[in-house]
């Protein structure tokens, strides 16, 4: 490394007025008139009082954070400049992310060079404090990234194409795992195995740099075909209206489900992945393993989401589970774990049959008022299930619709009322079990 980067702002202890611990700083208030004189007198009295070392430390920490936020807010003011059109704004976003990436590379390079220097002297590596300094610097840069680009994306949404929005959301999902990794490293310190922290810090820094590099490459690819909004001048004047009928800028209005009301939207799949909000139905799955699913069988989950249910079943080692879902981008979002199949929309012919087909969100997915998709669903289930099927069937009118369409469009599948009732009692979920008739 030919040159070290400019250091981040150091804590400016002497620039902040001394004050007793816990008392809000006077600089946060803007008094006027007589009250200003009273505050000034009180402030002088406080300054005259000696301050404890612990208070000085608290002042330094708060001052350091304030200094960083002040610099970050300066970047935000540049990005919010209304004289910048969308092209200039996105160029600023790109360069800002690239600058953070460059600083992360410097941090990693300095860490690696200094670690090699320590080892050349016969030491195992730098101290825990030394490693923590590099890791905390990188974490501060990530915080700057989240702070700046979160505000900018919210302020100029009409400049973001749908692909850019997805890129930033995918980036947040990957950042979550890295920030979680940082907490794991801190845990290692407190549990008394600091040497493991020093070993892992280098890998963590490398993963962080690689994430930003990949994001920038993807953004470059997206911007090749990016087009500015046709009515951009209206947005700059505060008169623009979002047009939800087109896929490009401005962004479509967020919806939980895609057009048609059945398949989850790409953003919703990402959100559930990010915050782990999928319903895994574990009590029901345990009951199915005990009473329904055949050992060494092949099971197809045709409402799989990101494939968590299939993963759970495969992890038992008792059977083989496959995952399918109607969301249009599910194969990409699940990294190839889940295949795209819409059993509600058209006749489907997969490469093989399965012992059982399951859809544990069927009542919610296919019971949409005004849509009559159950006939096609049952035809596809019957053509692929050699033993039977398990579906959520709801209650009341939804249950009657499920049973009526099953009898009409999948007559070879018969409801097992006793077993269905057993599963409802074991899991508190409204499910129905259907077996293929012996003579079918």
Residues forming beta bridges with residue 435, ordered by sequence position: 388, 414
Contacts of 372 (CB under 8 A, 6+ apart): none
pTM of the model: 0.74
The number of C-alpha atoms within 13 Å of 439 and in the hemisphere containing its C-beta is 1
Q: Please tell me the predicted confidence (pLDDT) of residue 28.
A: 41
- Phi, psi of 390, deg, nearest 5: -130, 120
DSSP label at residue 413: E
* Rounded alpha-carbon distances, angstroms, from residue 147 to 73, 102, 129, 141: 9, 18, 26, 10
Q: Give the sheet arrangement for strand 385-392, strand by strand.
A: 339-340, 320-325, 298-301, 354-359, 385-392, 431-436, 413-415
Query: Of 384, 431, 426, 376, which Cα lies nearest the Cα of 406?
Result: 376
Positions in the chain short of pLDDT 50: 1-46, 48, 242-250
Nearest 5°: the CA angle 385, 390, 395 is 140
Cβ distance 393 to 425 under 8 Å? no
State pLDDT tens for residues 207-253.
999 999 999 999 999 988 888 776 665 555 555 554 433 334 445 56
State pLDDT tens for residues 317-369.
999 999 999 999 999 889 899 999 999 999 999 999 999 999 999 999 998 77
Percent of the chain clearing pLDDT 70 (strictly above): 82
Q: How far apart are CA 9 and CA 48, in angstroms?
A: 28
State pLDDT tens for residues 386-405.
999 999 999 999 999 999 99
Give the tokens for residue 42: 């009180």
Contacts of 290 (CB under 8 A, 6+ apart): none
Q: How far apart are CA 149 and CA 123, in angstroms?
A: 41
Query: Of 336, 326, 344, which Cα lies nearest the Cα of 264?
Result: 326
């Amino acid at each position: 490394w030919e040159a070290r980067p400019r250091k981040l702002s150091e804590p400016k202890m002497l620039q902040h007025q001394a004050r007793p611990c816990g008392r809000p700083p006077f600089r946060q208030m803007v008094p006027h008139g007589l009250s200003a004189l009273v505050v000034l007198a009180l402030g002088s009295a406080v300054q005259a009082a000696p301050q404890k070392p612990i208070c000085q430390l608290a002042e330094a920490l708060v001052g350091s954070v304030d200094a960083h936020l002040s610099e970050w807010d300066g970047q935000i003011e540049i990005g919010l400049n209304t004289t910048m059109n969308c092209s200039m704004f996105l160029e600023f976003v790109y360069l800002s992310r690239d600058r953070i990436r460059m600083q992360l590379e410097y941090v990693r390079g300095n860490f690696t060079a200094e670690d090699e220097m320590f080892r050349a002297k016969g030491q195992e590596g730098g101290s825990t404090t030394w490693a923590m300094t590099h890791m905390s610097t990188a974490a501060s840069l990530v915080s700057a990234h989240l702070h700046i680009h979160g505000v900018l994306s919210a302020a100029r949404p009409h400049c973001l194409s749908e692909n850019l929005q997805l890129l930033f959301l995918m980036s947040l999902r990957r950042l979550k795992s890295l920030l979680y990794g940082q907490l794991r490293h801190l845990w290692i310190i407190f549990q008394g195995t600091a040497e493991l922290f020093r070993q892992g810090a280098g890998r963590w820094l490398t993963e962080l740099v690689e994430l930003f590099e990949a994001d920038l490459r993807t953004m470059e690819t997206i911007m090749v075909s990016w087009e500015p909004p046709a009515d951009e001048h209206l947005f700059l004047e505060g008169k623009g209206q979002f047009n939800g009928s087109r896929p490009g800028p401005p962004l479509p209005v967020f919806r939980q489900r895609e057009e048609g009301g059945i398949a989850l939207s790409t953003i919703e799949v990402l959100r559930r992945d990010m915050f782990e909000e999928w319903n895994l139905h574990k009590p029901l799955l345990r009951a199915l393993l005990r009473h329904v699913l055949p050992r060494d069988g092949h099971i197809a989950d045709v409402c799989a989401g990101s494939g968590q249910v299939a993963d759970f079943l495969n992890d038992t080692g008792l059977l083989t589970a496959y995952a399918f879902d109607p969301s249009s981008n599910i194969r990409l979002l699940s990294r190839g774990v889940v295949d795209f199949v819409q059993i509600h929309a058209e006749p489907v012919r997969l490469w093989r049959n399965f012992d059982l087909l399951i859809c544990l969100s069927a009542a919610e997915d296919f019971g949409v008022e005004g849509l009559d998709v159950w006939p096609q669903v049952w035809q596809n289930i019957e053509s692929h299930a050699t033993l039977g099927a398990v579906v959520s069937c709801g209650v009341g009118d939804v249950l009657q619709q499920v049973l009526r369409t099953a009898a009409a469009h999948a007559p070879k599948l018969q409801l097992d009322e006793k077993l269905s009732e057993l599963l409802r009692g074991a899991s508190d979920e409204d499910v129905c079990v259907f077996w293929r008739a012996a003579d079918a």
